[in-house]
Structure 1
Amino acid sequence: MSTVDPLRWPAIANVPEQGRIRRRARKAESEFAYACEQAGLSLEGADADLRVLEDALFLRIADAGWLGLAESYMAGEWLSSNLPHVLQRLLETGYAPKSNARPKGLFDARATPVDLLRLSAGEGLFSYASVFSSGVPTTERITLPPPGRGKMKSAQPLGVEVTTLSDPTVVERLDQSDAQARAVATLLDMADVGTGTYLADVPAQTPAVALAAIARNATVDVMSCDEELVEELEAVASKAQGALEVCALPGPLPEPGRLRRRFDAVVSVDGVEAMDPGALKTWLHTCEQVLVPGGHVALETLVATEALKPLDSALDVLRAYLAPGWHGRSMEQVLHSIHAQPGLKPQSVLVFGGHYVEGLRLQRERFEAHQREAAALGFDAVYRRLWIFQLALKEALLRAGLLDAVMISATLQPRRAV
């Protein structure tokens, strides 16, 4: 704990020790031990699945539930040689410690630091998604009824083509770069990006999409309010011979009606899951405004399954430190949100969670092997443990069937003549 900067990490540096928390910590300890027993996780012995180094773990769990579990890991109070397995088993047993309710925040469009992308994903600089070559696609057309409740009312049932990629057969570390490039290519294919396409990447999360689109002879506008990413993108634009324009946004998303240009396609990577409901509606409305008739939207995002609902608090560490607006929407909810925009019509879905999770594993292992480089770049021990925990948590959520990964395409329908 002496190495924790209290100004940067106040919740990590200060263990909650109020009287009521201490009383609840005993119960938290017994519940955690029972959950580990039910999950088949050992706490002692040479082959222990996890080791508790400080009793502060139980004070944190008593105070903040899953967030406390994560913050205790960030503080170095417990460790595991197989963190994704431990988290997956706890999730599969339904471990859901009570915590003080913390409201979800608003989308802030923060991007992963580029240096972290390099250490986790390599020079491809693609954040999480991977599509390996060994998946077998199966396609079916599904029909979704209009939402039964809420403000979103589709006049007609929604029909969409869903392709599911089977899990990759053999995944090796050398496959990582190709799998990430294939994921970018798949997203651009779904947006019908090719020679002459005018593409908007908003809000941008990585230079990878723009670089791949330029290689297809497209012209790209990238928009972001993240200063570090904007600086990286401007360096790319200086070598792109006019094919890339960087737009620094004053806020997370463009203000509705302020964009005067029209685009053939709009893409989003790792953005939708981080958007609160208002931000998602604004983003979709912006897509509708800036697309030419017949233009395409393509997005890649994580989606929730029904089983996530009682375990949604497991995501609190993402909301607290990485994406305050993180929402566990289902694929159906995302599709209905798109369809709720008068001009947008969902066209197709690619479900590829089995590939995404293997990409996460490779990125986590790569980052774990480059922690010295991360430290040299200024990422302290707490941040490094946070990064490892969030990668392991997403991996566990996917393997436990609580999250899935999808790419969704939609088109802007031409307005009918009156």
Structure 2
Amino acid sequence: MTMIAETAETGRWPALESVPQTPLRSRAARSLFLRAVRDLPIRVECSDGVVAGRGGPVLRVLRPEAFFARLGRDGLIGFGESYMAGEWEADDLVRVLTVFASRMDSLVPRSVRWLRPVAVPRRGPGEDGTPDNARRNVSSHYDLSNDLFSLFLDETLSYSSALFPEREGRPLVTDLASAQRRKIDRLLDLAGVGAGTRLLEIGTGWGELAIRAARRGADVRTITLSAEQRSLALERAAGVSGRIRIDLCDYREVDGEYDAIVSVEMIEAVGHRHWGAYCRALDRVLAPGGKVALQAITMPHDRMLASRNSWTWVQKYVFPGGLIPSRPALEEALATTSLRIRNDLRFGAHYAETLRIWRQTFEARGLQVRKLGFDATFRRMWDLYLAYSEAGFRSGYLDVRQFLLTREETPCSG
């Protein structure tokens, strides 16, 4: 059993065991928070009788002293930890978080933004995406439990945005598994994957993309740093195992030459200091005339620049070492290579629907999650992570895109 599962069993969540004793920061956080929500379409109800906001989805602060103490000491990390500790709740968590995400730039008054470098926790050396850190960080999330992920993902075990059909520019939510296969097939088509294609996949997941590529007749090498994912992917790929090689391998260590490269929501785990190395690895192993299809979550460039050195709640508890790039940041990383973006499909609304389905399924199977050894604190953490992510896409703060990359000298009609 993994570290987090063991923590869940023994109830050891160190950051939650005591409330910070920082009265000055607590008072400042209370003042700033109530001022920030004053003009928002939200209603904040504190158990000490304070009510704020213009009305809308309700955020209930059950333990105001603890809530503001955590917020004052650790900012958004404290906000998340307070939810994990049961100190606040919401009737509609996604709607509450969407309000905040929609106004991320204006929540903190300009007059105190200069304090950000002092007030916001900074990334430590363990967050840097070096080979050793990357292995540990990937394992801490993806090796949690194959059984856990199988409880809320669809039958394809795809842990990335689906691509639904659309009606009038909006996702037409149908069967999630079909939409996941639709996403995969578009990526394979972008990269020109067919019979005889030498395909490299960076980030195996649980093998669905590699399996679909092999069924097209491609010869697939797929790499991962997750031993748990590799084990299950090998089982799932048994029917086409002659066409698939699954290696425990860092992207920097990949060798060979490939006609096509596909990578789905992997660059977010690389870390901004290593985006250039990631793009150079793609360039190094891509055969002449080859194509790269990437699916990536993106955020606005200014927000990426503002947050790239910060340590966030998601990094502390869910995805250590990661950072979501912007398109300009990706273009800057690609500038050190011969690869350029030729096609860019944006479909963030589809990710919001994907996450909504995952969260509903996770909530419906809470008893089964508990039986796997994950306690109530873990379940609240995971619920917040899924709701927080959905809110990011519903607000437009986050987007997801499929990019086609080719070399500058390669003509492309796509």
TM-score by length of 2: 0.81
Match of 2:153 among 121, 125, 136: 121
Question: How much has 1:207 moved relative to structure 2?
Answer: 1.8
Q: Secondary structure at the match of 1:43?
A: strand
Q: Secondary structure at the match of 1:50?
A: strand
Match of 1:106 among 128, 133, 139: 128
Cα 1:7–1:295 change in 2 (3 A) is farther
Which structure has the highest helix share of the two?
2
Partner of 2:107: 95
Partner of 2:24: 23
Amino acid aligned to 2:371: A
In the alignment, is residue 344 of structure 1 matched against residue 339 of structure 2? yes
Structure 1 segments unaligned to the other structure (5+ residues): 137-165
Match of 2:317 among 321, 330, 333: 321
In the alignment, is residue 133 of structure 1 matched against residue 141 of structure 2? no
Cα 1:224–1:310 change in 2 (3 A) is closer
Q: In 1, Cα distance between the equivalents of 2:185 and 2:25?
A: 51
Q: Is the 8 A contact 2:206 2:232 kept in 1?
A: no
Partner of 1:147: none
Q: In 2, Cα distance between the equivalents of 1:79 and 1:375?
A: 20
Question: How much has 1:184 moved relative to structure 2?
Answer: 1.4
Partner of 2:351: 356
Partner of 1:283: 278
Cα 1:12–1:194 change in 2 (3 A) is farther
Partner of 1:386: 381
Cα 1:403–1:120 change in 2 (3 A) is same
Partner of 1:189: 189
Q: Secondary structure at the match of 1:242?
A: helix
Cα 1:315–1:37 change in 2 (3 A) is farther
Q: Secondary structure at the match of 2:166?
A: coil
Q: In 2, Cα distance between the equivalents of 1:209 and 1:339?
A: 28
Partner of 1:253: 251
Q: In 2, Cα distance between the equivalents of 1:70 and 1:381?
A: 15
Match of 2:289 among 289, 294, 297: 294
Amino acid aligned to 1:103: R
Partner of 1:203: 203
Partner of 2:4: none
Partner of 1:159: none
Q: Is the 8 A contact 1:339 1:346 kept in 2?
A: no
Question: How much has 1:414 moved relative to structure 2?
Answer: 6.7
Residues 224-257 of structure 1: per-residue CA shift (max 9 Å, x gap): 12121121122234442311111112xx4332xx
Q: Secondary structure at the match of 1:129?
A: coil
Residues 128-182 of structure 1: per-residue CA shift (max 9 Å, x gap): 312111156xxxxxxxxxxxxxxxxxxxxxxxxxxxxx332x43xx532222221
Q: Is the 8 A contact 2:301 2:329 kept in 1?
A: no
Question: How much has 1:53 moved relative to structure 2?
Answer: 2.2
Cα 1:83–1:353 change in 2 (3 A) is same
Residues 382-418 of structure 1: per-residue CA shift (max 9 Å, x gap): 2222222122112222222221111111124679xxx
Q: Is the 8 A contact 1:308 1:402 kept in 2?
A: no
Structure 2 segments unaligned to the other structure (5+ residues): 1-6, 47-55
TM-score by length of 1: 0.80
Question: How much has 1:381 moved relative to structure 2?
Answer: 2.1
Q: In 1, Cα distance between the equivalents of 2:304 and 2:227?
A: 35
Q: In 1, Cα distance between the equivalents of 2:92 and 2:220?
A: 41
Partner of 1:43: 44
Question: How much has 1:309 moved relative to structure 2?
Answer: 5.3
Amino acid aligned to 2:234: E
Question: How much has 1:302 moved relative to structure 2?
Answer: 0.9
Q: In 1, Cα distance between the equivalents of 2:57 and 2:164?
A: 33
Question: How much has 1:311 moved relative to structure 2?
Answer: 7.3
In the alignment, is residue 244 of structure 1 matched against residue 248 of structure 2? no
Q: How many residues align?
A: 372
